[in-house]
Structure 1
Amino acid sequence: MAVKRFLKPITKPAPPPSSSPPLSPIPNPPLPPPPGRSLAPLPTLTISPNSHYQHLLGFVKTHLSPPFTPDSLLHFLKSKLHHHPNFTHFDLHIFNWASTIDSYRHNHSTFEWMARTLAITNRLVELRALLQFMVSNPCPCSDGIFSCPRTEPIFQFVINAYCKAGKLDDAVFAFDCMRRLIDGRPCVVIYNILIHGFVKCVRHDKALEFYDKMIKDRVKPDVFTFNILISSHCRNSQFGMALELFKEMRKKGCNPNVVTFNTLIKGLFSKRKIEEGIGMAYEMIGLGCQLSIATCEILVDGLCKGGQISQACELLIDFSRKGVLPKGYDYFVLVEVLCGQGNALGALELGYELWNKGNIPTIIACTVLIDGLRRLGNIEEAFRLLEKMLKEGMVVDTFTFNCVLQDLCNVARTAEANKLKVFALSRGLKPDGMTYRILVSGYTREGNSKDGELVVDEMLDRGFIPDLATYNKLINGFSNCRRSTFQQVNKIGR
């Protein structure tokens, strides 16, 4: 949508039949001129004396009769024009037309709605013209000693929209317009929006310049200001400057938060300053700032990449014992690295240590740990871990469960495997046909036909035996097992 300056002049429509009075065209006054250089193609808006134009005039006359107030105009724009499929794009045109009526004057409510609408619909060129209009025609609230209290929030939204679109020159222009309308200094939030916009567009030097302007304007920076600039220093390989800014932050009485420390710790690890990074984490704890999941991930990933796996384990254990390890932290990466090195017992020790302190591992971490223990042939520990998972209410996947059952049956511990199955059923496990075939096979090898036949009957009840022939085959397997056992006993007796 183009501003009034770019609209074609409205010509007077041809008079309708004498049966109805002539309709007056909507005036089209221009707003202050937009910037000389257009950053994007300007859409055009032509209102010609045709039936569509007549419908617009009739629509306005029906729903908005002068004299009207800013509230009634706002109601018309929001509730009538905005929802009309053919006229919604004439919102700025109606807004400009209203400003030419002698008895009417826009206030902050209409300015705010128009500014937000233009920003949301990405009509940023028109938005710049609207800001110039606001400077020339301030809100009636500004007629007294103080400026309108809604001016700064309106410009904050506009500046944020320009920064998100990467139009930083327009954002600075909006900032300068705002300075002419408000009393005193802008709030720190608006400075932060602009500084972050420069950083996001990789204009680090401009971000620092605006920070200096902020200090000269005697606006006190907050923790978000410092976090933005510290992050920008680190991204531009200026870690020394980031540390200096951190010291300046402390001198100005601004307490760092978890984002500040995470940024610095990550920067220290990127410079291979491992001990300094760990020291920064402990300084963070000393200041009463809680570790986040991201903090632990930065520390563990950095130590693992440096080959310091045991130090990573010791660090997590120390955090856990101090009660500062964040709830929900997933130490799966460390478990995976340890198991990949064949140190599943070390991963198990770490898991139990953290688990006993309330830091429950994820199902994925436990599954990787069970697989690592099985590869070491440590069936007993894999069995214990699976049992602990079930007791904690974890829903174990059927494949992992069947693998542990198979290991138990392979060492003639089918009775324990069956008990584990019964317990798992009570904890919500849904066994499959393989679960029962593993148990039947185990009982067959052990010659335990009595318990084996009970398992076969349970298979039948659960629908895992498709037909009678399959059932008879399984039962006959136990009969053959009994005969084989009887023959072996006779041979021993002879």
Structure 2
Amino acid sequence: MGTSVRKLIALAPQSKHLRQKTTPAASLLQVPVLGTSFPTPLPTLSLTSSTTQSQLLAFLKTHLKSPITPQILLHFLKNKLHYHPKFTHLDFHIFQWASTIDSYRHDHHTYEWIVRTLAISDRFDALRVVVLDIMPSKPCPCSDGIFCCPRIEPIFRFAINSYCRAGRLDDASIIFSTMRKLIDGKPSVAVYNILIHGFVKNGQHDKALRLYDQLILDRVKPDVFTFNILISSYCKSSKFGLALNLFKEMRAKNCEPNVVSFNTLIKGFFKERNFEEGVSMAYEMIKLGCQISSVTCLILVNGLCKAGRTLRAYELLIDFSKKGVLPDGFECSNLVVSLCSESDAGRALEVVEEMWKTGNSPGIIACITLVEGLRNAGNIEDALKLVEKMLKKGIQLDSVTFNCLLQDACHLRRTAEADRLRLLASSKGLNADVVTYNILIAGYTREGKTKEGEHLVEEMLDKDYISDIASYNSLIDGLRNNRNFAS
């Protein structure tokens, strides 16, 4: 058997579709493709059956034109092989075979495509062969001059990121070292960040720090992402003091922190139960012109509420709103729930009103909780106004809460107001049910308003809410017999 055939056998990927069996070399050498012979055998040697070999051979003859160039091969891989259900898994096999042809050289386009394809499909062993064996030994033609191909680093960066995502940090480190030897100058900070984040994500904080030290030795300037990754790692490792030191180093290196930097430190302060320090960090954000995000507010408000400092959270939120720094989209449900649970529905109402002033919707959970809180506090007046405002803004209550509020209003002899609210709710899609009508009819009965009550009974009859004549007569008789009833 010829040397080229043995080489092809060694190159063949190990899968259920391929095998390490020899086939007579004569049947594989000098296979014609569109009338042209190749000095290297086509990649059919390791296929499982002669039928599959012949099918692939016919497919190659039809779609792969000779002489092969990177453009032709890439078009074949992307537009022909990739969509073939039988042969798509052989993309690496075809790619590897092409690299053995003496007259052919892969360029950065083919390298980039195969690296991305293998990485996305989690074929990491094959990917390792490409970036550690083929690319270093057979570089892109762009590297023939004084400088290396400018696409080498982006290609390797994608591979490193994929290995980090899969938790294969040793492979990622080896690929990073190989890349450093191939590129001109030092790697960009983005590549360092990917690997540092990979170490941190997998709990290897010491390795992340060593790589950061290497970054400094290489005179690569760390950016805000570098510092954020390490600050977060320190906080997760309960080394908040070191996180603060790194934050100071960040400022000393003229690297401006962003909202993620501050959010991470605020969470760290709260974890250490240094709540006022965390709040001060938020105000420092404002002072530096760093926009407070919804996440920042959630960290502050939720953290303070969980620590039993609901009043401080309320004061902070109101102050943010008055300063005009409250972010769009912030949802205040947790604060409203905490205030209502502490029987402070008045402040909860103020929070919701402040949300509306800033153009933020308080959310259905906050509104329902507040309605219940106001009802429990006996503040039916504000509850009715709140529900009316909610309905006008398109926020609908559930029928149970709505009916309970109407019943409270009726007990206060404000049935007409409750009825108007019922009509407003109906116009907004919250239709009255049998319970709603019974509550209002009972209210009108107590107030001796027979005409209004009879009108509701007629509505019930029209909506088939009254099942028989006896029920109808009972409601009408109740209204007429209690014309002068007062409670």
Q: Under a length normalisation based on structure 2, what TM-score does the superposition of the two structures give?
A: 0.89
1:107 paired residue number: 107
1:233 paired residue number: 234
1:316 Cα offset (Å): 1.0
Query: Quick one: structure 1 residues 468 and 313, their matched pair in 2 at CA, closer, same or farther if it must change by over 3 Å?
Result: same
Contact 1:138-1:181 at 8 Å conserved across structures: no
| Distance in 1, Cα, partners of 2:471 & 2:75 | 77
Q: SS of the counterpart of 1:106?
A: coil
Pairing of 1:344-359 with structure 2 (within 5 A): 344-359=345-360
1:476 Cα offset (Å): 2.8
RMSD: 2.6
1:421 paired residue number: 422
Contact 1:13-1:48 at 8 Å conserved across structures: no
Deviations 1:384-421 (A, max 9, x none): 22122223332232222111111111222211111221
The question of 1:381 aligning with 2:393 is answered no
| Distance in 2, Cα, partners of 1:56 & 1:359 | 61
2:4 paired residue number: none
| Distance in 2, Cα, partners of 1:5 & 1:416 | 79
Runs of 4 or more, structure 1, over 4 Å off, are 13-16, 23-26
Pairing of 1:280-299 with structure 2 (within 5 A): 280-299=281-300
Contact 1:198-1:204 at 8 Å conserved across structures: yes
1:89 paired residue number: 89
1:67 paired residue number: 67
Deviations 1:83-124 (A, max 9, x none): 222222221221122222232211111111111111122111
1:169 paired residue number: 170
Query: Quick one: structure 1 residues 355 and 55, their matched pair in 2 at CA, closer, same or farther if it must change by over 3 Å?
Result: closer
| Distance in 2, Cα, partners of 1:324 & 1:246 | 24
| Distance in 2, Cα, partners of 1:464 & 1:72 | 75
1:3 Cα offset (Å): 4.7
Query: Quick one: structure 1 residues 253 and 165, their matched pair in 2 at CA, closer, same or farther if it must change by over 3 Å?
Result: same
| Distance in 1, Cα, partners of 2:205 & 2:358 | 44
2:407 paired residue number: 406
Contact 1:146-1:183 at 8 Å conserved across structures: yes
Query: Quick one: structure 1 residues 25 and 57, their matched pair in 2 at CA, closer, same or farther if it must change by over 3 Å?
Result: farther
| Distance in 1, Cα, partners of 2:443 & 2:148 | 86
Contact 2:65-2:72 at 8 Å conserved across structures: no
2:280 paired residue number: 279
2:3 paired residue number: none
Q: Which sits farther off after the overlay, 116-125 or 342-351?
A: 342-351
Contact 1:265-1:278 at 8 Å conserved across structures: yes
Pairing of 1:248-397 with structure 2 (within 5 A): 248-397=249-398
1:8 Cα offset (Å): 2.2
2:221 paired residue number: 220
1:202 paired residue number: 203
| Distance in 1, Cα, partners of 2:99 & 2:361 | 65
Return the letter of the residue paired with 1:374: R
1:432 paired residue number: 433
| Distance in 2, Cα, partners of 1:474 & 1:275 | 61
Return the letter of the residue paired with 1:207: A
Q: Which sits farther off after the overlay, 232-241 or 356-365?
A: 356-365
1:450 Cα offset (Å): 0.5
Return the letter of the residue paired with 1:51: T
Q: Which sits farther off after the overlay, 194-203 or 74-83?
A: 74-83
Deviations 1:195-240 (A, max 9, x none): 0000001000000011111111111111111000000011111111
2:20 paired residue number: 8
Q: Under a length normalisation based on structure 1, what TM-score does the superposition of the two structures give?
A: 0.88
| Distance in 1, Cα, partners of 2:288 & 2:412 | 54
| Distance in 2, Cα, partners of 1:84 & 1:348 | 63
Q: Which sits farther off after the overlay, 345-354 or 104-113?
A: 345-354
Q: Which sits farther off after the overlay, 266-275 or 427-436?
A: 427-436
Contact 2:12-2:46 at 8 Å conserved across structures: no
Query: Quick one: structure 1 residues 144 and 24, their matched pair in 2 at CA, closer, same or farther if it must change by over 3 Å?
Result: closer
1:35 paired residue number: none
| Distance in 2, Cα, partners of 1:226 & 1:2 | 45
| Distance in 1, Cα, partners of 2:203 & 2:260 | 20
Q: SS of the counterpart of 1:253?
A: coil
The question of 1:472 aligning with 2:486 is answered no
Query: Quick one: structure 1 residues 360 and 398, their matched pair in 2 at CA, closer, same or farther if it must change by over 3 Å?
Result: same
| Distance in 2, Cα, partners of 1:356 & 1:169 | 54
Query: Quick one: structure 1 residues 363 and 185, their matched pair in 2 at CA, closer, same or farther if it must change by over 3 Å?
Result: same
| Distance in 2, Cα, partners of 1:442 & 1:82 | 73
| Distance in 2, Cα, partners of 1:405 & 1:421 | 8
Q: SS of the counterpart of 2:432?
A: coil
| Distance in 1, Cα, partners of 2:39 & 2:84 | 20
Q: Which sits farther off after the overlay, 304-313 or 196-205?
A: 304-313
1:146 paired residue number: 147
Return the letter of the residue paired with 1:162: Y
1:151 Cα offset (Å): 1.3
1:15 Cα offset (Å): 6.3
| Distance in 2, Cα, partners of 1:305 & 1:385 | 27
| Distance in 2, Cα, partners of 1:458 & 1:253 | 72
Deviations 1:305-353 (A, max 9, x none): 3322222211111111101111221221121112112222232233334
- Unaligned segments of structure 2, at least 5 residues: 1-8
1:191 Cα offset (Å): 0.7
The question of 1:27 aligning with 2:36 is answered no
1:80 paired residue number: 80
1:459 paired residue number: 460
| Distance in 2, Cα, partners of 1:187 & 1:464 | 73
Contact 2:39-2:101 at 8 Å conserved across structures: no
1:13 Cα offset (Å): 7.3
| Distance in 1, Cα, partners of 2:188 & 2:75 | 31
Q: SS of the counterpart of 2:317?
A: helix
Query: Quick one: structure 1 residues 24 and 216, their matched pair in 2 at CA, closer, same or farther if it must change by over 3 Å?
Result: closer
| Distance in 2, Cα, partners of 1:388 & 1:46 | 74
- Unaligned segments of structure 1, at least 5 residues: 30-44, 489-494
Q: Which sits farther off after the overlay, 97-106 or 128-137?
A: 97-106
Q: SS of the counterpart of 2:103?
A: coil
| Distance in 2, Cα, partners of 1:141 & 1:56 | 32
Q: Quick one: percent identity of the two aligned structures? A: 59
